[in-house]
Structure 1
């Protein structure tokens, strides 16, 4: 997770220095154009939404869970790599706890 996070931060920094922060018009413009980059963006957007939904569900759609879910959607792998690192450390190797969250283990 650390390697992914650091690599992605570096790649993002270079991209921002070359193209600025103007991601959304490019992201949605590629989808509107119905090109392969647009298809990839549409597919990736599905992963982002699923990630946000899972994080929110894992926190039982609480206020904190909804905020973390929104951050997952907009933060992508930079958020999820850090989130999974922290959650896996807290779960101490318990995959059920990692996937379901501590509060769902007793259900």
Structure 2
């Protein structure tokens, strides 16, 4: 679990750093670029579509983990729009809340 937590912190730092530079140089204009690449039907768009479906899976998993409650759907939306920035923090928090129990971390209250 320690290696996993270190990985999550590394991802969080990398995403925050990279995003900060990107926003500083290109602004907050993500969605037109993201969906524009998909509309062009090239490799950047294919990657974005693949990534977007992964974000949707992440959001559904978070909502499912919270038994599709209102807070679960809210957290799920945050997972979709926050990506790894959200998920790294979410998993770090819950890895501590579950005491490192991987089953509880994956399935929530169902454990």
**TM-score > 0.5, shorter chain as reference:** yes
Q: Aligned partners of 2:19, 2:107: CA distance in 1, in Å?
A: 31
Match of 2:53 in 1: 46
Match of 1:36 in 2: 43
Q: CA offset at residue 79 of structure 1? A: 0.2
Alignment pair present for 1:14 and 2:21: yes
Match of 1:104 in 2: 110
Match of 1:91 in 2: 98
Q: CA offset at residue 18 of structure 1? A: 1.0
Moved over 4 A (4+): none
Q: For residues 5-60 of structure 1, give each alpha carbon's deviation from its aligned partner in whole angstroms, at most 9, with x where no partner exists.
A: 01110100100111110100000000000011000000000100000000000000
Q: CA offset at residue 2 of structure 1? A: 1.2
RMSD over aligned CA atoms reads: 0.6
List runs of 5+ in structure 2 lacking aligned partners: 1-7
Size of the aligned set, in residue pairs, is 104
Q: For residues 45-94 of structure 1, give each alpha carbon's deviation from its aligned partner in whole angstroms, at most 9, with x where no partner exists.
A: 01000000000000000010000000000000000000011111111121
Match of 2:71 in 1: 64
